[in-house]
Amino acid sequence: MTHDLDDAIRASLRRNAEAAPTIVDLDGVRDRASAIRRRRLLDTTLAVAATVVVALGVGVLVRGISSNQTLPPPVNPPTATAWPAALPWIAYTNFDANAQPSGATRIQLRINGTDRTVRTPPGSGPVTVLGWYGPDHRTLVWGEGQPPFTTQLLSTVTVSADGSTLSPVAPLRLRGQALTPGRAFVGADGALRLWMPDTLGSAASPASVITINDSLDGASTPWRVGPGGAVFATATAIGRVTGDSQLYVSRSPSDTVGTRVPVCGSLRAVSVSPDAGVLAVGCSNAHAELIDLATLKRTRIPDIPEVTDPGFLLGLWWSPDGRLHATTNPGTATALTTDAWTLSGGAWAPSTTPGVVTRFFTTGAPTVRLERLPTDGVAADNSGRLIVETDPPVDLGPAGSSVAVRPTG
Amino acid sequence: MSSSQPSFDAFVAARGSALLRHAYVLTGDRHLAEDLVQEVLTHLYRRWDKVAATTSPEAYVKTSVTRQFLSWRRRRSYAERPTDAVPEPRAAQGDSSDTSAGDDAVWRQLATLPHRQRAILALRFYDDQSDAQIAEILGISASAVRAHASRGITTLREQLAGTDVSGAMS
């Protein structure tokens, strides 16, 4: 029996090993390694800066004491009311270490310059905010856990149109077919739908626990509702951010499966044009395409500048006037720098579109910066490129990790 | 890096599928296997010169995968959520005779073992490593390897009592 069992284990392992995946995502490995390198560089820079600041502070203190001078009063940090009211609603997570019994994750909402807090049940674990959905993008959806978990408990809270009132926290309820290009989207009937790769096209039971085989991450784009209330396009790259990118386009509420469109590799950003006629996609290799949503015909456009290693693509945006913009990070020492570009005359040029919120991103420190182009359209440096200005940073706390910005377009 | 040493890309192209199979028998899950291999390769990518200069880069990477699996499961287990709908394990490629049925019973029970026991059985029976080699990979003594293996096999024997596994050896 002993040898029989040994042989059975050996046979079982070898037989089942044949069902293993066969391809390593080499691009993903390189991208993640580059991201780690940038992060460490930033951490080092911040540590050096902090050391210098402390050293200077000690020097000032010593001089003040020795000369018996009065030190200037401390400068107060920016308060919530300093946040420009014109910025979109944002939601981000924070962790309250003092909550009993073992801390709790809170969701902070910053709406019209006012901070609000949504508390999650004790013991609910890490929380990732996924986005603003529902009619007028007023329903925030979040999941417990962080990618690439295979199961997430999804919950919602809805904010009144004037931003003054929050609904009670409720589990996410699904209606109709399961369809989630990306994290979620809303059909013309107002129902929120989720994409579950395992059950693509099959009915989803109205439950609050979603089981997926992929992370709820990757590029995604909000839906667009065209004339007559039809959903013209939703699109998402489902995958582990850097690999297995799949683009599905859904062009009507009844299209519960979507059409898979081949893309250029590791998909980084997708965006639907204001008239819902064109989908722009950008990849980690700087390759960019426009996809006609009526015919699904792909047209390559000029490569996005600064995207290849060490730089990387942050996002694509259509402005209301129908122009396409891209934001990139050059990947050099100044990781807080974001460059904005506009496709103009068949080439990407430094962007001058004012007032468009382009992207949020986390820095090496536990903060997030919300960026937008300068409203005066003036370049912020002398390099000939437009540097996106940063608004006051939001403190995410030590456990903060996700941010959702309400679409404004 | 000397010309006789494999480049990172060449190594991944040549041995990537073997690494994935190794990770798969450790984790029992295709997606976790992909994540595990990618995480380890990401870590080793930046110092590949040193890895490539070792006697056996593949052994080095497999050891890293195994150790990462053990530490990774500890770190990630806090966030895993139970679900009522447990998906059926993916059936192995091959026939659907009684042989594979008995085979899958072994595979399913392997998945229920503590991860250290499963790792040791995978190294012993899939990679044909000796107890001394396994001990070196895991950083424990050979006697501890034998103890873990014995407990794992005893558990399997109890769980598989009444199941005909003899036919699974084809």
Residue B5: what pLDDT? 62
Residue B121: what pLDDT? 92
Report d(CA A370, CA A78) in Å as an integer.
Answer: 15
Residue A229 φ/ψ, nearest 5 degrees: 85, 10
State the angle between helix axes of B57-76 and B115-125 in degrees (0 to 180), rounded to the nearest 10. 160
Q: Do A5 and B126 touch (CB under 8 A)?
A: no
Nearest residue of chain A to residue B167 (CA atoms): A8
Report the 10 Å Cβ neighbour count for A306: 21
Q: Exposed/middle/buried for A2, CB within 10 Å: 0-12, 13-18, 19+? A: exposed
Report d(CA A325, CA A355) in Å as an integer.
Answer: 13
8 A C-beta contact, residue B29 and residue B80: no
Nearest residue of chain B to residue A9 (CA atoms): B106
Quote the tokens at residue A381. 């440096």
Closest CA relative to residue A328, chosen from A301, A288, A290: A288
Does residue B18 sit at the A interface (CB-CB below 8 Å)?
no
Residues B91-134 pLDDT 10s: 333 333 333 334 578 888 888 888 888 999 999 998 888 888 88
8 A C-beta contact, residue A159 and residue A109: yes
Q: Which of A15, A126, A148 sits opposite B92 (nearest CB)?
A: A15
Residue B137: what pLDDT? 85
Residue A315: what pLDDT? 72
Q: A265-279, A292-306, A338-352, A372-386 — which one is most confidently predicted on average?
A: A292-306
Q: Percentage of chain B with pLDDT > 90?
A: 6
- Angstrom CA distances, A48 to A34, A42, A136, A343, stand at 21, 10, 45, 38
Report d(CA A231, CA A251) in Å as an integer.
Answer: 6
Residue B122: what pLDDT? 92
Quote the tokens at residue A301. 């456009």
Does residue B123 sit at the A interface (CB-CB below 8 Å)?
no
Report the 10 Å Cβ neighbour count for A82: 11
Does residue B35 sit at the A interface (CB-CB below 8 Å)?
yes
Q: Residue ranges of the domains in chain B? A: 1-77, 96-170
Q: Which chain A residues have a beta carbon less than 8 Å from that of B82?
A: 151
Q: Which of A15, A19, A28 sits opposite B90 (nearest CB)?
A: A19
Quote the tokens at residue A96. 């309250």
Q: Is the pLDDT of residue A99 over 70?
A: no
- DSSP string across A251-304: -STT--S-EEE--SSSEEEEEE-TTS-EEEEEETTS-EEEEETTT--EEEEPPP
Report d(CA A182, CA A407) in Å as an integer.
Answer: 15
Q: Do A19 and B23 touch (CB under 8 A)?
A: no
Q: Is the pLDDT of residue A39 over 80?
A: no
On the question of a cis peptide bond just before residue A354, with omega within 30 degrees of 0, the verdict is no
Q: Which residue has the higher pLDDT, A386 or A312?
A: A312
Most B CBs within 10 Å, among A7, A13, A151, A213, to test the B interface? A13
Report d(CA A236, CA A260) in Å as an integer.
Answer: 10
Tell me whether strands A389-390 and A367-372 are parallel, antiparallel or unpaired.
Answer: antiparallel
Q: Which fold has domain B96-170?
A: Arc Repressor Mutant, subunit A (1.10.10)
Closest CA relative to residue B120, chosen from B141, B138, B139: B138
Does residue B87 sit at the A interface (CB-CB below 8 Å)?
yes
- Amino acid letter for position B83: T
Q: b/e for A252-273, b at 16 or more Cβ within 10 A?
A: ebebbebeebebbebbbbbbbb
8 A C-beta contact, residue A107 and residue A117: yes
Q: Do A11 and B9 touch (CB under 8 A)?
A: no
- Chains A & B: contacts with CB separation below 8 Å: 156
Residue A129: what pLDDT? 75
Report d(CA A407, CA A91) in Å as an integer.
Answer: 12
Residues B47-59 pLDDT 10s: 788 888 877 888 8
| Section A323-336 average pLDDT | 64
Q: Is the pLDDT of residue A138 over 70?
A: yes
| Section A255-263 average pLDDT | 66
Closest CA relative to residue A13, chosen from B134, B157, B135, B118: B118
- Amino acid letter for position A52: V
| Section A186-194 average pLDDT | 40
On the question of a cis peptide bond just before residue A88, with omega within 30 degrees of 0, the verdict is no
- DSSP string across B62-101: HHHHHHHHHHHHHHHGGG----SSPPPPPPPSS--SHHHH
8 A C-beta contact, residue B110 and residue B26: no
Quote the tokens at residue A216. 């709820």
Residue A354: what pLDDT? 57
Mean pLDDT of chain A: 62
Average the pLDDT over each of A254-258, A260-264, A288-292 and give the range with the smallest value: A254-258
Report d(CA B131, CA B134) in Å as an integer.
Answer: 5
Closest CA relative to residue A344, chosen from A374, A386, A380: A386
**What would you report as the CA-atom Rg of chain A, rounded to the nearest whole angstrom?**
24
CA trace torsion B110, B115, B116, B122 (10° rounding): 40
Residues A168-182 pLDDT 10s: 887 654 433 222 223
